[in-house]
Each structure stands twice: as structure tokens, then as C-alpha cells.
Amino acid sequence: MSSPDVIVIGGGLHGCSAALHLSLRGVKVLVLEKDHIGRHASGVNAGGVRQLGRHVAEVPLTVASMALWHGIRDLVDDDCGFESHGQVKVAETEAELAICQARADQLRALGFTHEEVVDQAELRRLVPAIAEHCVGALVSRRDGAAIPYRTTFAFKRKAESLGARFVEGVTVTKIARDGKNWAVETSDGARHAAPILVNCAGAWADRIAAQLGEPVPLEAIAPMLMITARVPPFIKPVVGATGRTLSFKQFPNGTVLIGGGLLGRAYRDENRTDLDFAQIRTNARTVWDLFPVMRSATIVRAWAGIEARMPDDIPVIGPSGTEEGVYHAFGFSAHGFQLGPIVGRITADLITQGQTDLPIEPFRIQRFRRDAVAA
Amino acid sequence: MFQRLPNASGERVSFTIDGRAAEALSGDSVAAALIANGVQTCRATPVSGAPRAPYCMMGVCFDCLVTIDDVGNQQGCLVRVRPGMRVETQNGKREIER
Amino acid sequence: MSDLKPRYDLAVIGAGPAGLAAATLAAQRGLSTVLLDEQRAPGGQIYRAVTQTPVKNPSVLGSDYWHGADLVGPFRDSGADYAPGSTVWSVSRSLDIGLSRDGAARVLPARHIILATGAIERPFPIPGWTLPGVMGAGAAQILLKTSGLVASGNVVLAGTGPLLWLLAWQYLRAGARIDVILDTTPRENWRQAMPHMGAFARSGYVAKGLKLLLEVRRKVKVIGNVTSLKAEGDGRVQSVLYRQGDGAEQRLPADTLLLHHGVIPNINLANATGCAQNWDEAQRCWVPTVDAWGATSVEGVSIAGDGAGIGGALAAEHRGRLAALDALHRLGVLDRATRDRDAAPHREALDKAQRGREFLDTLYSPAKDFRVPQDETIVCRCEEVTAKQVRDAVKLGVSGPNQTKSFLRCGMGPCQGRLCGPTVVEVIADARGVSPAEVGYYRLRPPVKPITLAELASLPKAEDEIAAVMHH
């Protein structure tokens, strides 16, 4: 095959999205994936497509990504199971409702109107099954949820149909400069070369960055999820809580997904996670409190995906601080799924135009220089 | 269709199936008791509504899910029938709130 | 039985022959031991209800069955705690057992754990196998043992394997009627099994097996070389369609169709615990990887009996004792030499019990057409996913069972892949033209049995239990 213009390391949603957006612009892309597409966080996350409650730095990106989500079929020829019934962050006390109001005011001051505070009556209308003590909520009505593996796989297939090449089951073992190219060696003994490298290696991205001389303080985490047997449809929006950790949603097939970021243990060298039932118990208690109808529901499975978290809980996006022709997109800190469509576009912008119209300054990798030295 | 061997011995247990009086032997699981009483299907699948009946009798297949004393989705083959027990067959997705 | 202790030296999971023998030996040698079992009475499936079956005439179930009582007596006297009705939904690498009893969940720590989860019937996916009236032959045997129930009306047995013939024999002994046995043993299996005939001839199986086969064949119509099967009916099975060799399709009336395709290890708990596993080509199934003592890749977790590869009930008993001796050694009670010395008679008995196994494995290896079903056949009973859907996913580039699971929900239902995993693996391997070894198996996760939210929410918060959960 002719040599690629860009090598993307990592076949998660961000790698596949970068491959897709680059392919749409006629760039030849090779994606190297150590396991299979969507094997880790991209394939097994909660599937929340959420603008609600994001870090202020992420808000312009999340709003732009939402526009792509609402036209996701046009982008990848598959609806990705995306449904938009809003996301709701419940306030259990007046004090929590005040926090919601402050947040809505803060965003409004910045010019964003997608988050609004609703009273108890409107909360009840949106989420009839919510426990009676809840007093209101912060709501983002265009938010929703999609099916993670199907989404990641759809991005991959569309990219592939446009000429991107995916090699699965190969680990990048060495990266080195070779004239104008990057030479990338993989565990199957192959050597690949391209002038541009994109690091979308998720929970393993720090190892790639370290090889490029810019170590980052990345933590591999394992957010846990559990799912119930099918129950009759009783809730449309995705529900979170203001004062505790929760993500709660019902799929169209009736199963209910419960998560929110309580952590198991990640063993990234073994591709393995262990669940922590003390944490799962806490999660179950929260659901017990907020959704009395769920008390007799049956949990059929629990799991955790391996994911990268940065110390400031926002991702690394943008060019390398040390090397020409290298771009990063990793460290999404357990909330990267919704950003997938836009960050791939941003990376393609940076590679093909040298710039992007979205503010990515807060995500530059250089912000960790001092930390890394201190570490 | 199953029938009890004529010399099968054991204590009789009275219980109900969908509100109707029924009898079983004390060693019967709920699934066996349903079969002994000629119940042909114990649930309809939530996916297509297809009828199902116990398939494995050893806790593997989950086709014998029934509601026992108001608690739904019980594996009928893993629960012993008890006097006065109320067994209800399940149709479609179980109501999570009554 | 009395309440459980806060922790045990040894926890044995499953009260079949392996679990009973392991727990008995360990408790006799002084380990604080608990035997956790999902069933309400000891015996596992092979000796199911051996202490309380309503079938009192011993000649119906046969002397091999009643041997189970010889294991229960010593177990009861051994001093081991016994917790029937316990569903184990998790075993962690830190040796904490998540279990539910009577609607309450708890975490029980142990210093060593022996999984004795036994075997399950190999899924036998044919068109119509989800219809009421179609059951596993093992299920019919359980109904006989526990309840003295036998199928009535038009009864058809179909498939291959020793259990099929044993059930037919037990039915005849009980005075029950079988219309037809549709024998799916592939013709060529006989030729392939012949080289193993010698060892089989020296095993204890031959005389007994032949006698049983002849008795069944004398009394029941057996149709051999059956190459296709289909169950049909409106709301329940009414007829069975079959083909003999490449002959025309024939139809039989059936009120009950009992299917059997051999047994495979019940690996869900071991898999979810993280025990390494390998594809066994001879038995065509995934088996946990264990050493000669049953030790797995997870420190402190062993597997005894059919759960570590099918060897049969007698072998399971000896494998249970060997695993228990190794647990005693690992916990510092026995030195290596004593363990090895004490193990010698059990090892010898195990060798004897396993003699002839290759012959049976080869003879009763199910035909490919039944392992890799046609397009319209449902492979995942829970989510009603067909073989065609799996094949279509492979065409899209899906390469393994974990991806079809994410893509099709195949294996995501309450049975957690127990009844579709083996088939999905075979279908994907066949579609890709590779070995199942390359395709892999589901990554299973706790809870390996469904648990209610209420049970999870009520997990006790006792200091040492939480500490145990957190410990790693």
C-alpha cells in the first residue's frame, strides 16, 4: 500500500473520529490499535451525550460537538443509537438547587444558554419516577445518549469506506524520527512511516507522549457501570445528581444503565479491571434513594472500562509541545464520548489548516510541564 | 407434558399459580411444580413476546423466570415450592412497580 | 444450617462430587471450610436430590447415581459448614466471595477458594429450540431425580452423548415411554474413535455402557445418522423434523423434545474471576487453565471437577480431593512431600476414572452442522439473536464474541452468555475461517448471576468486610 500521510495511534472513538475527519479531507490515514476498535472506554462507556455540567473550558467544544451529534447519520451513515431526550441533574435540596442556579447564571454570562434550572413540577414532568424529595434540577434539553460501541464502530467503518486503513491487534513499540517521517514500529514486527502522528491512545497515551519527550501525569482509571434486566420504559432523559455521583438512563430496549464515575481498579498492562463492590453499593444506594421504582430491579452485569484521567479533569488536545508533526487527543477524564465527533474535526483542522476555530488553549499539553518535572 | 411417576412419594404442598389452587411435592422446585401442574409456558420474552418454558432446570437458562410472592424475575428452578406460595407467570417486561 | 462465620480458610463453591469431596477432606484435615451451593440439597446435578428424591426404587436411577449418597454422609460428618441456597455472584482476586442467600447479599472472605461449578449442557441450537416443550435431556433428568416427573405423550430424544442414553435407560426403568431417539452421532466419529478403543475397553465404562445401550435399543426405535433437526409448533412444540443422512426431511409428532449434545465446563465464575482459559479442541469448549492440582492462574483459586474440563463424576470426586490437598499445602497445613504422598491414591483413582475419556469425547463430538447452526436459528435465547445476525456482524468486520456482544446484545441477557457463548464462538470462527482459539470467549463480569438492586444496596458495611472488598 502507498504510505499514509497520518498515523493515528489508538482505535477508540477519538482515533476513529480523527481518521474519519482526515479521510473526509482526502488525507491518507493509518490507524494502529493494540486490541480492537472500541475495546476500552470508547466501547463500554455509559454513552451519555452530554453538554450539561461540563468544565467551562469544554463548553464551546461540547456545543459544537452537539451540532454534529444531531446530524450524526449524515456524518457516519448510522444513527449510532443517538436519542435526544435531554439530560437532567437533580437537586435534592434547596442548597443544591442554588448551586444549579449559579451554574446556569455563570454559563449565561459567558453567552451559553443550553443549561437551565427547572422547578419541582417541571422535574416531575420530565422524570415522573424521581423521588419526591427532589426539589428541582439543572437541565440541558438537547443532550441525550448513544450506543458507544456502535458509535465507535460506525466512525471506523465510515473512515474505512473513505480509504482509512485500520490495523488491529498491534501495539506500538517504538516511535522515532526518520528524516521528515515518523517511524512507528509495532509488536507484529512491522514498520510504518508517516510525516504526521496523532496520539489518541487513551489510557496508554502517556507512554506515547513520554517517547516524544513530554511526559504527562495521566492516571488510568476504571469507571464502573451496571445494567439491569429489561423493565418497562419509565424514563426518557439521562439523570445525574448534584450532590452525589450518578448517571442513570434507560435504553429504548428497557434496560437501565447505572453509573456515574465511581471507580474500580484499572490494570492497564493486563487490559484488566477489578470492580469494587463497596463503590457499587454506594451507587446502588443512590439509585435506591432517587428512584424508588428501581428497588426490585435486577442487575445483570457490572463492568468497567479503562480510561485516562488528567489531574485537572480536562483532556489534552492539540499539537505536541516538543515535536513537529505530532498531535494529541487524549485524557478525556471519563467524559470524552460526547466530544468525539468535534475533537476529530479539530485534529483534522490542525493537521490540514494549521489552526482551528475552536478555543483549545486550555487543553495544551504544555500545561503539565511543571507537574511532570515535579513528578 | 409431564406426569408424576405413580410411586413418587413425598409431602403434598398447596400453593397457587396465577391465583388458581395447585399442588406439588415438597421437593419440587417452582419450575417443576409448574410443569407438574401442566403449565405450558411461564413467561413471554421481553424482546419478541415469544412464549418460553423451563429449558435447563439448573439455573442456567433463565427461561423459567416467574414472579414468586410478588417478587419478579425469580428463577423458578432454583426456588423450592412452599405451602401458600403465590406463583405468577410473567408476560413481557416485568412491571418494576405495582 | 447455622450462620456463616465471618471468614474461612477454604470456601468451596458447588456441592457436586468435586465440591463435596474437597470440602469433606479439607474439613477433616482441620481447615475451617464452607461449602456454598446454589441448590437446596447436596449432590450437584449428577447426584441431584440424592438425599431426598421421591424416586425410591433404586433400580430406576441406577447404582452410579446412588453412589452420591456415599459422598454426602462423610461430608455431613466432616465439620464443614454448609450453605445451601447460596448464589455466588462474584469471586475477586483478593479472595472475597460475593454471595446472596435468602434475598440478602454479603461478602465472605476466604484464604483459598475451590470452584466446583461443574458442567452445563452444551447448547444445542436448532430451529425451534426456544419453543415450550423443548428441553435439555439434563433438565428432564433433573425433573426425574427431584420430582419423579417424566415426559408424557409423544416423547422424542435427540442428540448424542452418554447422558442421552442414560436418560433413556432411566425412563425405561421408570416405566416411561419414549417414541423415538434421533441419534445425531456423526458416522465418521466411530472411525475416529477407534484408536482410543483400547483404553476405553480397559475402563469401567464398557460393560455397563454396552448393557445400557442394548437395553435401550431393544425397547426404543433409534434413528441413526440424523443430520438435521427442527422443532415446530404453534406456541409449543408439536412436531420434530429431521433428516437421516442426506435423505428427505421426515416429520414426527412430539409433545416433548429432549435435546442433548454433551456437557461442557460451567466457566462463568472462573472467567469472571479472571482465571486464564484455553480452547480444548478435543472437547470443543473453553476450559480454565489449571495445573495437576486444579490451581488456576489466579493465586488462591483452584477448580475441581468438570468445571476444569469434562472428566465425569468419579473423576470429579478425586479432582476435588487433590484440590483440597493442594489447598492444605498452600495454607501451610501440609508440606509438599505430605501433600504428594497423600495425593497418590487419589491420583491413581483419577487416572482410572479418566481412562476411556478420549473415546467418549471423540465418539460423541457433535457434528459441525449442529455446532454452527443455520442462519435462521436463534443462538442467543435471551436477546433472540440469530446465527445470521452474528454472521452479518462478522461481515462488517466484527471479529470476536465481545464485539458481537456490544454490537448485537448477543450474550447480554440474564443467562450471561451461558447458552450462546459456545455457539457464537463457533459461528464467528467458522465465518472467519479460523480456530475458536483465535476468536476467544466472552469477557464475563460479576455479578455472574443477576442480583437485585436492593441486595447490592444492602451489602453490609461491616468494617472487615469493606476492608476485604477494598483490599487488593
Domain ranges of chain A: 6-47+149-217+312-374, 87-141+223-304
- The predicted structure's pLDDT at residue C3: 83
Please state, as a whole number, how many other Cβ atoms lie within 10 Å of the Cβ of residue A96. 21
For residue A292, list chain B residues with Cβ-Cβ distance below 8 A: 97
* Residue of B47, B71, B93 lying closest to A231 (CB–CB): B93
Q: How far apart are CA C235 and CA C28, in angstroms?
A: 53
* Residue B27 within any structural domain of the chain: yes
* Residue B1 within any structural domain of the chain: no
- The predicted structure's pLDDT at residue C272: 96
Is residue B60 within 8 angstroms of chain C, CB to CB?
yes
Q: What is the total count of domains within chain B?
A: 1
Is residue A294 within 8 angstroms of chain B, CB to CB?
yes
* Residue of B71, B73, B96 lying closest to A294 (CB–CB): B96
**What ranges in C81-233 are assigned the alpha helix state H?**
137-147, 162-174, 187-193, 197-201, 205-219
Amino acid type, A365: I
End-to-end CA distance of chain A: 43
Amino acid type, C277: Q
Q: What contacts C408, CB < 8 A, 6 or more positions away?
A: C380, C383, C385, C389, C390, C393
- E-strand ranges in chain B read 2-4, 12-17, 20-25, 43-44, 51-52, 65-68, 71-75, 86-88, 90-91
The CATH code that applies to domain A87-141+223-304 is 3.30.9.10
Label each residue of A196-255 as H, E or C: EEEECCHHHHHHHHHHCCCCCCCEEECEEEEEECCCCCCCCCEEEECCCCCEEEECCCCC
Q: How far apart are CA A267 and CA B66, in angstroms?
A: 39
Mean pLDDT, consecutive 10-residue stretches, chain C (472 aa), reads 84 98 98 97 97 94 96 98 96 96 91 98 98 98 98 97 97 97 96 91 83 95 98 97 97 98 97 97 96 98 98 97 98 98 98 92 95 97 96 93 91 92 97 96 93 88 48 38
Tens-place pLDDT, residues A222-281: 999 999 988 889 999 999 999 999 999 999 889 999 998 899 999 999 999 999 998 999
Phi, psi of C371 (to 5 degrees): -85, -30
Fold classification of A6-47+149-217+312-374 is FAD/NAD(P)-binding domain (3.50.50)
* Residue of C406, C453, C472 lying closest to A297 (CB–CB): C453
Cis before residue A362, ω within 30 degrees of 0?
no
Show the domain range for B43: 13-91
**C205: DSSP letter:** H
Residue with cell 452468555: C417
Retrieve residue A201's grid coordinates.
Answer: 491512545
- The predicted structure's pLDDT at residue B92: 54
* pLDDT-derived band at B94, boundaries 50, 70, 90: low
The three-state secondary structure class of B21 is strand
Output helix, strand, coil percentages for chain B, rounded to the nearest 5: 10, 35, 55
* Residue B80 within any structural domain of the chain: yes
Beta pairing, strands A48-49 & A144-145? antiparallel
Size of interface A-B (CB pairs under 8 A): 25
Nearest C-alpha in B relative to A295: B96
Query: Hey, which chains touch B, using 3+ CB pairs under 8 Å?
Result: A, C
Q: How far apart are CA A275 and CA C94, in angstroms?
A: 11
Q: How far apart are CA A326 and CA A178, in angstroms?
A: 14
The three-state secondary structure class of A351 is helix
* Residue B28 within any structural domain of the chain: yes
Q: Calculate ∠ Cα A296-C45-B40, nearest 5°.
A: 60
Q: How far apart are CA A236 and CA A239, in angstroms?
A: 9
- The predicted structure's pLDDT at residue C463: 43
* Residue B3 within any structural domain of the chain: no
Which segments in chain A show pLDDT lower than 50?
A: 372-375
Interface contact B62-C449, CB threshold 8 A:
no
- The predicted structure's pLDDT at residue A226: 96
Is residue C421 within 8 angstroms of chain A, CB to CB?
no
Cβ–Cβ under 8 Å, residues A23 and A49: no
* Rounded-to-10 torsion of CA A53, A58, A64, A69: -60
* Residue B2 within any structural domain of the chain: no
Is residue B10 within 8 angstroms of chain A, CB to CB?
no
Output helix, strand, coil percentages for chain C, rounded to the nearest 5: 40, 20, 40
* pLDDT-derived band at B97, boundaries 50, 70, 90: very low
CA distance B17 to chain C (A): 18
Is residue C235 within 8 angstroms of chain A, CB to CB?
no
For residue A229, list chain B residues with Cβ-Cβ distance below 8 A: 73, 94
Is residue A254 within 8 angstroms of chain B, CB to CB?
yes
Half-sphere exposure of C101 (CA within 13 A, CB side): 19
Interface contact C148-B48, CB threshold 8 A:
no
Q: What is the CATH number of the domain that holds B43?
A: 3.10.20.440
Residue with cell 487527543: A329
List the single best residue of A130, A227, A230, A250 to mutate versus B (max B Cβ within 10 A).
A230
Tens-place pLDDT, residues B78-89: 999 999 999 999
* Residue B98 within any structural domain of the chain: no
For residue B81, list chain C residues with Cβ-Cβ distance below 8 A: none
| Segment 238-277 of chain C within 8 Å of chain A by CB | 274
For residue C398, list chain A residues with Cβ-Cβ distance below 8 A: 153
Q: Above 90 in pLDDT, residue B46?
A: no
* Residue B96 within any structural domain of the chain: no
Interface contact A230-B46, CB threshold 8 A:
yes
- The predicted structure's pLDDT at residue A261: 86
**Nearest alpha carbon to residue C12 among C346, C326, C231:** C326
- In angstroms, the Cα distances linking A240 to A262, A320, C88, C312 are 13, 35, 31, 51
* Rounded-to-10 torsion of CA C70, C75, C77, C79: 170
**What ranges in chain A are assigned the alpha helix state H?**
13-24, 41-44, 59-69, 72-76, 94-109, 120-126, 148-161, 205-211, 277-290, 340-353, 369-374
Q: Which residues are paired to C91 by β-bridges? A: C97
For residue A274, list chain C residues with Cβ-Cβ distance below 8 A: 92-93, 472
**C308: DSSP letter:** G
Q: How far apart are CA A339 and CA A331, in angstroms?
A: 12
